[in-house]
Structure 1
Amino acid sequence: MNRNYFKSKLFLKYIWSYLFILLLPLILITVFIYENAVSNLRSEIEQSHLNQLTQTKTIIDGRMKELSEIASRVSYDQRLTPYRVHDPYYSGEAIQALDQYKASSSIIGEMFLYFHKDDKIYSSKGMSNLNVFISNYSFHKWKQADLTQDLNSVIFPSMRPADLVNRNTHLQQSMLAYLVPITPNSPNPHGTIMYLIQESELTGLIDSILGKFQGLSYIFDNNGQILTNNRQGESLVDADAKSLFKLSSGIHSKTINGSQHSIVSVKSKENGWTYVTLMPSAQFFSSVLHVRSFIIMLFCIVVLVGAAIALLLARMQYQPISVLLEFANSKSKPNGSAAQSVPSGNELERIRTALQDYSSRVDLQEPYARNHFLSMLLKYGNAQSMTPALMSAFDLQFDRSHHFVMVIGWVESEDHLGDRQDRQEIIELLAQVEFPELAAHAYGVELPQPNQLALIVSFNLDDTMQEFIHVSHIVEAARSKMLENFDVIPMIGVGICYSNPNQHNQSFIEACSAYELRMSTGHGSVTYFENLSYTPDHTYWIPNNVLLKLSQSLKLGSYDVAAQIISPTIRSLHSSDLSTLIMRCICFDLLNTMLKTASELGIHNVMQEIPHNMIVNSLDELERSFLNLASRICTQVERNTKKEEHSLMDQVVAYIDSHFMDHTLSLETLSFEFAISPSHISRSFKEKMGLNFIPYIWNKRLEEVMHQLKTTNDALKDIIIRVGYLDTPNFIRKFKKETGYTPGQYRKLYSENELADTALNFDEE
């Protein structure tokens, strides 16, 4: 491309435009600043002082209001009533309360509470006599008598001017005293709150107002007294200073001490105080000299560099246009004959012509681009992160409160040509649909399937209508629109409604699921994904309690009960018109329940024995397979149960044999020990041993008593208790019933027999 920009009239116009923009305003501004620098600078400084004074006034007003509020709270504080502060028991609580009030405001140096005609005064540090307080806080200008009178007579909040205070005879501070009667605004106050405020708390707020300039800052009370002031290189006599109090709020110019001064005054409506700053006006001129030097230097630099800057800016502005023009020319005439057919006019006119040509091409491609854009939205979601420019170009808006997607399909007829025409017309009709009465709009998206499209719906939910009802109305409106305009009966799957447009992809997947798993394959069905999991007619599903019963019957090895569940369930599928998918799901429910139960029972071999094609067999074969599986599980459960019971009963018998002399031994203790019910132990024990638990224990104890009667000379009672019997008479009766002898007779009989045997053995020897 030819880069000789100076041949372009547009480029030359840019240069002259920039030169005019840079130089002409600069000249005018320089002259204007030179003529008005002093007044502008003065206005800025004075306005700055006015703003700072206003801010200072606001801060101090807030502090004073805070002190008045503290006084008001004190007057209503039950801990600070005259009775309680005088009472030795409650006085400590009152002093603590004063300390809390003092700590609530950073401006308070010290806080005192005084009740009229009282000889005591109270502070956060304790109670003291009024005379002691006056001697400890000695004001230079506030006499003792006046102080006492003011404490007893003040009926309005009053601020004393800054005064030097000698504290404890060796510490001297400049402080202000603020007196607030309590109760505030009462015509007959019963006491006074006195705040001592260090002067630096107020002067610190006005120190920075003058900045680098010399001058004075004053704070006057509502009577014109100087509460505090700040001097920076200048001083005034009291008469001149007090004359500042009479000035109205605003900016003033006044001659003081023979020189012109700029004065800024602000009055407070809260307490009537006046805030004033004044400074010699001559200081403005020295500042203007620095500004003028800077302006002259800047002017020279701009004049020297202005032309170069204008040239550079013009080139930067023109370069993209030249590149765009080159691109437009190359695209408009691909055969290279662009130079022969370049339209008349400048570069911008030629670019405009090229854009018009491109616009017509884009109009042809826009539906495809729009459909792709919406397809990406359905695939990935994140509507809010989509390119705003494209959304605006395709006139897409997802700014409403609720969003969902529906998938619409219809069946082809034999007239394929007519179907294609209807399909295109349906797509055009639903490309962008408005439902004003439902506060909804929708965008159609063509899906890869021949006769399906998705409808992205956004709407604002009416407070008087439930969400699902609103969605169903929109779906019915879309369905009616198709029925009115086309000879097709749509089948619709509807996804869940979301409040976030970023979840369009989830709603789309749900709509596809609802469409594919619709409960009726006939024409005109509308299936809501929300209803798939709780369809009103779900009697064909196996209830959870039935599955639980099946599992439990298998765990107990009850084949008859398991068969009574499996057979009716499978046979009911013969007479149903359910889809193959749902039938398989029902069968899988049964199979999963049985396999899960088998796994829980530790029977893992049945899973390897299941045929791979079990679920795809006929229902009769499936029933036989399920019954066979249940039979194997139950048989194995019975075997395992018997084996476990025999092993467990061996442990129980061993435990009984070693603990039968424990009088606490019972079925309950065995149940606790082996975690088995007493009835189950009793039944299993009888099956194993041939007799019940109680007779077995009695026999074991009886044998032990008989053995000890024969081998020991211990007392009968001790033997009976030792073997676990606490009721001796009852044991003796039962012993006699079993043996025909009392325990004493049995011991004597055994002794006589033993002596006879011994003598016989001796004779034989």
Structure 2
Amino acid sequence: MLSQNWYRRLLLSYFPIFLLTVSILIFLSFLVINEISRQETAKADRISTGYMMDTLERSVSEVELDILSDLETASVYPLFLNGNNVDNTAVTYQTIDRLRLLENNNELIASIYMYRDTDQQVLTLHGIKDLNAFADRDFVQAALQAPEQRGWSSVRSFAEMSNDPKREVITMYKRLPLPFGDQGLVVINISVYAMKQMIASMFNPQVSFLEVQDASGVPIYPATTTDDAEHGKTLTTLHSDRLGWTFESGIRAGQLFAWVSVISYIWILIGIFVVGVSIVYIIYITRKNYKPIQVMMERIESLQLGGESARKDELSLIDHALESLIEQTIDYEQQYHENLLIRRRRLFMNWIEGEHPENMHQELQNVHIFNDYVRSSPTEVSTELPYYAVIVVEIKDYDAFREKGNVQEHNTLKLALTNVFQELVQQEGLQGWSEWISVRRAGIIIYGIQQEERQWNRRLFDLAANSREWVEHNLHLTITMGTGITVHDLPQVQQSYESALQSLGYSMTLGRDGIVMYSDLPQGREQESYRYLQNIADLVKEFRLTQEVWRDHLKQMLDRAENEPLRDESIRSLVLSLLQMLSRELEGMSEPLDTLLTGDAANRAMEAIAEAETVEDVHQALLPYLDQVYTHYVEAGESTNYHALIGEMKLYIEDHFANPDLSLNHLSERFNVTPKHVSHLFKAELDIKFIDFLVQLRLQRAEELLYSTEDTIQNIAIQVGYANSITFGRVFKRIIGVTPGDYRKLKMKPASYESK
């Protein structure tokens, strides 16, 4: 219905104009040929001038792109801008060579130079000089005052050296490093004379005329303006957005038309008058009827909400614009919320890691954190002392938590936890900011105004206790909380965070209620865990000697670690050292025992110890496993009757020590035990290594043969179990102190003869 009314109104409004237009068509028909000729001439002139302008813009753009591309790819420019290089002279010459290559590659370039912020030095093809001594310093200073300005300047006079002649150039500058750096500038000067030469080569001054002016109205081509009667009527006026230049062109006087119209100028004036009146009337009626929609269309076009609907009627366009506006508003709100969450977490992590920005107060206000509490600026005077503290929250048994639900549910629950922490802080009359700092840990920065530190610490403990109780009761999660030290300035929050991590490291020994206050941590140096190594060695010895008191000593060692106290990592390290030492001592006694020491049972025990929340949990996880190992160890010892076994092995060695093949493997096969167990039995029962016992028997017999017989040393070596006299002689000298030959010459007596 709305479209039909609009159509009738327009039709009735334009009908009188239609009658008037038909009445004067006869008088305007004779102008058609003249108009066609003028339009074709203007079209050709516009194409020619447009080509000329496009060529200039394209040439300038090529210069700009070549230089900016080189600035982005060449590594020497950042070295020059840094200004702290080991060899500044080499970097300077390399940079000049790059600039000279760029200038030589394009005849339009009049000059390229760079300005460095760190020491206010300007680098040209002639070298480097201070800004105050640079001839073009006024332009550089103006550029530094307007770093956001884009595009080419108006025509200006330029001289690189104070004694150089002035040249007309247009200039562009960019901040370095690209795109919006803060270390310096690159200034590109293009020769106006070279551009004039390009213009002169692209049109015929005998037929047409051309005037080019910059944005300030200064004539560029030709250098001076000409009289209108000389060059004729302007047919084309183009403006270059890139250069800021205006191009005006047309056909010279006497060249536009070669024939004289035979039509009366009176009729021409009448026709122009009638057409003008019709145009004025049409514009008046159209604007009057179209004005409301025009206002809406202008707003829609200014906001670029029309899109593809610009080809439809106005009402469809307005409808599409409203839909687009609603969608953009929804998308903007969603994107703003997501960006705000990302900015908050980045700012949170930078703050606790000590990398916060200098304008921290402003950043907190930008992300809507502590708006009602944090002073607007660090210089603002306050009569109340601010208190800051960090609490680190850790989810216990995170693997079990991860098995419940999917990733999206986990993220939703974590988001809910951060909101819960912040609300609980507010209930205590404080302000809190909570973010997840790892997959299983969240941090809470607490801010408030307090008159007494003791009361502040009490409020922190109550807050931690209430938070832990709420989470366990409502979300069925077990958490541990470590509080940091209290600080009074924003940069010191990092110290509070680090101390909160230290507190969390004592959760086994000090966190009996799931809360570790930093004030409860041991003062001074941490207790050295290496002092427990002797206790571990004694416990392993008692275990190996089947002394039942090892269980009591294990409990005493863990109780001592809890009372001192030790950090969680130190306690787990002690337990790991105990298991490793026990494994080395018992390995090889029997296959079931080896499986128990290195198999799934050992892995399950280590996992239980890693997930333990208290020292008592460590003891409950460790003791059943050690009992199982102890049972298998006792069974292995009883089954082999190692006391009798070692006696049989000793007699066997004494009878067969002359056998060169006698070794641990030989005894292992002979007595059906592992070689490692044989070595262990010798060390445990005889307090001597197997090889030392064997060498002792062989050399004792060799001494007797050297003293009582005249056999050769080679024969004696074979009789005591050595394959050759060389090996026998080396072992004999190392143990006895002299060679077998010297022993016989000196007529030394064996120890067994001397005792007789």
Q: What TM-score do you get using the length of structure 1 for normalisation?
A: 0.31
Structure number with greater Rg is 1
